[in-house]
Chain A
């Protein structure tokens, strides 16, 4: 008797004619971040001679692109961990502190004392490297568990809970080194951050491994589905039988773990532990990378690939600004402008304003 009921939820259902290949590409969730990255690379191409030049020197791959990827590795790792936390409607601002802690634990344990071996000076680790790395990761996991406990069990707001570790954590790291920079002399440790395997920086292998493992976890188990459900509608998720508290605990532990690996990488890169500065402002960059990659701060659907691209965008930006000759501090101004633009354009209010200013003319759809 009556006309078909209009679909609820306010989403415009795409009408038939626009199912073209182009629109499929444009509407893909990775389109915007990739486009932004492409734009940046284009700018680089035009302004920086030899930007895309890659050559093999001493058996290693060399070039700006490799450089960028290498430097971005710690940030990519942090962003991967942060993505899951944000997807559950949370946030973790203690990532930088965890980086400092993990790097410090590893460096102090490894150190490197000089011994003479057949008349040749050689450095040995104070503790076997494997144990040191395990200890560092253990510390990082503990930090993650701490955050997870406060948020999932105690019900503290994520920003409040992680604020505590952000303040205290760096202090702990500084305590361990007494504010001094602890230099590491043990060769094999440097491989983590600055080594090359088959010509490609080892750090990229680590990033690839973490990304693949996480990606598989999300796809092959129900984790991805559960995290999204909890982020979009925690009430419905609970009623459907999902263990929301355990899930939330886990994502914070995971974020801590990622930060731990990141810290090891940074520490290996600078061949020391700098509790004062390691990972400073890293959490902010990580949050920015996740947001750029398309994951909303309000939680729900997330994109690991998007966060990786977001991190690459940030690193490319830094590199571009440096290479063009602008003072590196311009970086901060540009970053903040990007954050404002992205956040405002993602907000529902802005979309409403846009729609009011430019009303779309729908063909044949009763309004």
Chain B
């Protein structure tokens, strides 16, 4: 349309940014035009957040330039970027919850009267500003009394007040429900009519198609392409985000495993019915059998981690029942789940897994020790034995078992955390993105080890964003999408293309009825 004829208000050329050990961005380009909603999409590790940080001055790019209305800019901080006209609204609204709505909008630029703050004028203006976005609320109430969606509107208002030229919304909908998303989108449409250039970052497919004019897809730090929304089908989009089906590097590992479900009725280890939590997971049913490797496929944010946390007792479920070996259980804390034989390797190993200053050995035996309790300390000899055993088995590269885990590379940290749970000899092992951010060789080692465990009777719930991986090793696959269970498929029923179909389109033919 005629939009493309105008000059872009924000243009990025050849942006590269590297960190020790990883090239986060290479040669990325982006064009943002006034009066459009432009969505930036990509999987985890694609470089979206790094790109945003470059735009907002948190990082300085190693190469490339940023042009705002044709002028090169070099923002050095978020404030700097804001003053230049690039305003960002984050998922965690960066406002002061204790102050009123009006104050949050006007702080730092209060209207004054005779030297004092003119409250009346401020409240009037705030009301008017919000009115323009079709929101009528009492601006004198503290911000925290309002739901997150409204808080984001207030953040947007503030951004507008600073007369932004570019509005960036970084994953604003992750904590919103459907009605709130509609509200946000109608505001965005209104802003678009007024000529604002909006860069929208999200991983929800439906939302992308609901609001975008154009889409930029990133993968592995590179620009995959820039498309008009109407020119790109969902399937193509998912394809581009995830990458064309890779040549399976080593399918022997998976194929050599006996396909469990064939001809045998597997014993059920865990059954859950209606497991759900408001704002995190729509109630779903799940069966996990003994010795089964169940894969959770889906894009980031589809609810896989949320489901796993509910199963582990890390979060409390609002609805649903869990049965283990036929006995009803309720998990109030991870301890309960651990006692029932479940282990959980979190996806956020830095904040939820590794205790950085402690040694490899200490991190490794931690869960086992916690289960043993306070008084029955594991003798040092045994601790060392266990640690050495797993270091060898998993190929952990560390100077010694006494080195602090914080000095190990990501892959090796992951292996230690995996060993932590393996040491408890769990019946069900939940692995949430165990191979993220790890080099190819370590990935292979971990997956091989995990598959071997399954053969020995351990159940595994394997969550990964890498489709080829999930397809290769799983006995069954559950596809998750936008926080709902999408469908369940036995091995062989799906290949990459069909999974993408399911992810892209949701309910589809081929969804097998599950018990």
**A is bound by B:** yes
- List chain A positions with a Cβ less than 8 A from chain B: 2, 4-11, 13, 220-223, 225-226, 228-229, 232-233, 235-243, 300-301
Question: Could you tell me which residues of chain B, from 344 to 367, have a CB within 8 Å of some CB in chain A?
Answer: 344, 346, 351-358, 362, 366-367
* With A222-B378, A236-B352 already in contact, 16 other A-B pairs whose C-beta atoms are closer than 8 Å: A5-B22, A6-B409, A7-B409, A8-B409, A222-B369, A222-B370, A229-B358, A233-B355, A236-B355, A238-B333, A238-B334, A239-B346, A239-B353, A240-B420, A241-B334, A241-B335
With the chains together, A237 CA to B378 CA distance in Å?
17
A-side contacts of B72, CB under 8 Å: none
The contact of A235 among B352, B370, B408, B413, by CB within 8 Å, is B352
Cβ of B320 under 8 Å from chain A: no
Which 9 residue pairs of A and B lie closest in terms of their CB atoms, listed nearest first? A9-B406, A241-B370, A5-B21, A6-B20, A241-B338, A5-B409, A240-B367, A6-B21, A242-B370
- Contact of B353 with A11 in the complex, beta carbons under 8 Å: no
With the chains together, A241 CA to B56 CA distance in Å?
39
With the chains together, A243 CA to B333 CA distance in Å?
9
With the chains together, A365 CA to B140 CA distance in Å?
57
- Contact of B439 with A240 in the complex, beta carbons under 8 Å: no
B-side contacts of A225, CB under 8 Å: 358, 362, 366, 369
What are 5 A-B contacts with C-beta separation under 8 Å?
Answer: A6-B21, A6-B409, A8-B408, A222-B376, A240-B420
B-side contacts of A226, CB under 8 Å: 369-370, 374
With the chains together, A346 CA to B110 CA distance in Å?
40
- Contact of B372 with A222 in the complex, beta carbons under 8 Å: yes
Cβ of B375 under 8 Å from chain A: yes
B-side contacts of A223, CB under 8 Å: 374
The contact of A221 among B314, B333, B375, by CB within 8 Å, is B375
- Contact of A241 with B371 in the complex, beta carbons under 8 Å: yes
Which of B355, B358, B375, B406 lies at the interface centre, i.e. has the most chain A CB atoms within 10 A of its CB? B355
With the chains together, A143 CA to B369 CA distance in Å?
30
- Contact of A232 with B357 in the complex, beta carbons under 8 Å: yes
The contact of B410 among A8, A229, A239, by CB within 8 Å, is A8
Cβ of B389 under 8 Å from chain A: no
With the chains together, A235 CA to B314 CA distance in Å?
10
B-side contacts of A13, CB under 8 Å: 399, 407
Which of B20, B353, B362, B376 lies at the interface centre, i.e. has the most chain A CB atoms within 10 A of its CB? B20
With the chains together, A301 CA to B358 CA distance in Å?
8
The contact of A301 among B20, B357, B374, B411, by CB within 8 Å, is B357
- Contact of A240 with B370 in the complex, beta carbons under 8 Å: yes
- Please give me the residue from chain A that is nearest to B346 by CB atom: A239
Q: What is the minimal beta-carbon distance from B376 to any residue of chain A, in angstroms?
A: 8
With the chains together, A233 CA to B356 CA distance in Å?
8
Cβ of B205 under 8 Å from chain A: no
- Contact of A11 with B406 in the complex, beta carbons under 8 Å: yes
Cβ of B377 under 8 Å from chain A: yes
B-side contacts of A229, CB under 8 Å: 355, 358, 366
A-side contacts of B211, CB under 8 Å: none
With the chains together, A26 CA to B413 CA distance in Å?
28
The contact of A243 among B335, B366, B375, B404, by CB within 8 Å, is B335
Contact A5 B439, CB 8 Å, known A13-B407, A241-B370, A243-B335 = yes
A-side contacts of B399, CB under 8 Å: 13
- Please give me the residue from chain B that is nearest to A234 by CB atom: B355
- Contact of A236 with B353 in the complex, beta carbons under 8 Å: yes
Contact A5 B411, CB 8 Å, known A239-B344, A301-B357 = yes
- Please give me the residue from chain B that is nearest to A11 by CB atom: B407
With the chains together, A13 CA to B406 CA distance in Å?
10
A-side contacts of B358, CB under 8 Å: 225, 228-229, 232
A-side contacts of B344, CB under 8 Å: 239
A-side contacts of B411, CB under 8 Å: 5
Q: What is the minimal beta-carbon distance from B36 to any residue of chain A, in angstroms?
A: 38
Q: What is the minimal beta-carbon distance from B242 to any residue of chain A, in angstroms?
A: 22
- Contact of A235 with B351 in the complex, beta carbons under 8 Å: yes
Contact A240 B366, CB 8 Å, known A5-B21, A229-B358 = yes
With the chains together, A17 CA to B373 CA distance in Å?
42
With the chains together, A300 CA to B354 CA distance in Å?
13
- Contact of A233 with B351 in the complex, beta carbons under 8 Å: yes
- Please give me the residue from chain B that is nearest to A367 by CB atom: B20
B-side contacts of A2, CB under 8 Å: 439
- Contact of B354 with A221 in the complex, beta carbons under 8 Å: no
